[in-house]
């Protein structure tokens, strides 16, 4: 599956907070995160690099830091990967047609957001300081001109088979099982993935989300979506490292989209 390759260890979880004036540097995929300790304060700064670029080694200038004032200096900071805070509109680079009564399992890689939390020394409770996307996804609109939902846009290769090169430290692997239960062929050009209902799991240093099963019943009847409560079979035994933002549920919704009249022509 991932060819025995092991992902980065000790990246997620609690780590000692930086001392007064100390700067810690974390590299997570294209994201470089700097954490600075000050008296009862935590300072954060980040930078993203394009593919092929060397990550910056020096922290940014003063003006680019964000600052959090706390009751006491935290002993620990918690770093966890979480999924984006809105639904994703996923567009396969090569749209495909799923024949009637056929099924397909595709793998999508979702760029994680990095949640930074300050852990209280006594109570061990954590306060969220910031959530930083490792990749800045573009906004998109899922719906028509009058009503719809703001989502993130993700272009994916939509692989049918897992290969080692798919795994990266900042990407959450999501398995989507598509079942065309209708009597018509289904042209899969885009689909809306409600990632706010998904948790993040870790196995061998790589990140996974629960399996999403989509049953397509036809143009008029929409799709039935089910999200498991466990990691997919490909990541059996993975441990949950961050829970879903919203409660899991099965629901019926518009998930697929063919080319629709969102041309915006005129005027």
* CA distances, 41 to each of 68, 89, 125 (Å): 5, 37, 17
**In this chain, which of 99, 150, 230, 246 binds other proteins, going by CB under 8 A?**
150
| Interface region with other proteins, contact rule CB under 8 A, candidates 37-45, 64-72, 109-117, 256-264 | 256-264
What is the token pair recorded at 90?
A: 């996923």
**In this chain, which of 16, 148, 164, 243 binds other proteins, going by CB under 8 A?**
148
> β-strands 148-156, 88-92: how paired?
parallel
Q: What is the dihedral of CA 10, 15, 16, 17, to 10 degrees?
A: 130
Task: Spell out, one character per residue from 45 to 84, where the chain touches other proteins: x when CB under 8 A holds, - when not.
Answer: ----------------------------------------
Q: Is residue 139 a contact point for other proteins (CB under 8 A)?
A: yes
* Total site size for other proteins, rule CB under 8 A: 19
Cβ proximity to other proteins: between 57 and 263 the closer is 263
Could you tell me if 151 and 195 are in contact, meaning their C-beta atoms sit under 8 angstroms apart?
A: no
Residue 135 to residue 202: CA distance in whole angstroms: 19
Cβ proximity to other proteins: between 71 and 263 the closer is 263
Q: Is residue 125 a contact point for other proteins (CB under 8 A)?
A: no
Q: Is residue 153 a contact point for other proteins (CB under 8 A)?
A: yes
Q: Is residue 140 a contact point for other proteins (CB under 8 A)?
A: yes
**In this chain, which of 44, 89, 212, 235 binds other proteins, going by CB under 8 A?**
89
Residue 267 to residue 263: CA distance in whole angstroms: 12
End-to-end CA distance of the chain: 51
Q: Is residue 138 a contact point for other proteins (CB under 8 A)?
A: yes
Residue 12 to residue 134: CA distance in whole angstroms: 14
**Residue that is written with structure tokens 């430290």 in the block:** 169
**In this chain, which of 4, 10, 123, 145 binds other proteins, going by CB under 8 A?**
145
Interacting residues with other proteins (CB under 8 A): 89, 136-142, 145-148, 150, 153, 262-265, 267
């Amino acid at each position: 599956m991932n060819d025995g390759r092991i992902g980065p260890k000790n990246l997620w979880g609690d780590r000692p907070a930086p001392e007064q004036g100390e700067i810690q540097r974390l590299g997570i995929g294209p994201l470089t995160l700097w954490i600075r300790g000050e008296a009862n304060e935590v300072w954060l700064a980040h930078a993203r690099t394009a593919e092929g670029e060397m990550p910056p080694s020096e922290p940014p200038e003063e003006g680019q830091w964000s600052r959090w004032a706390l009751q006491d200096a935290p002993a620990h900071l918690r770093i966890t990967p979480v999924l984006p805070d809105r639904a994703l509109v996923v567009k396969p680079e090569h749209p495909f047609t799923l024949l009637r009564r056929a099924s397909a399992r595709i793998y999508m890689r979702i760029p994680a957001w990095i949640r930074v939390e300050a852990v209280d020394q006594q109570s061990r409770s954590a306060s969220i300081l910031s959530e930083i996307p490792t990749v800045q996804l573009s906004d998109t609109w899922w719906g028509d001109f009058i009503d719809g939902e703001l989502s993130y846009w993700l272009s994916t290769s939509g692989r049918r088979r897992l290969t080692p090169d798919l795994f990266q430290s900042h990407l959450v692997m999501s398995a989507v099982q598509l079942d065309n239960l209708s009597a018509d062929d289904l042209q899969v050009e885009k689909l809306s993935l409600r990632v706010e209902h998904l948790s993040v799991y870790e196995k061998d240093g790589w990140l996974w989300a629960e399996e999403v099963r989509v049953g397509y019943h036809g143009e008029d009847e929409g799709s039935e979506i089910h999200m498991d409560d466990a990691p997919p079979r490909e990541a059996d035994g993975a441990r949950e490292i961050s829970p879903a933002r919203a409660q899991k549920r099965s629901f019926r919704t518009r998930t697929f989209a063919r080319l629709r009249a969102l041309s915006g022509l005129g005027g």
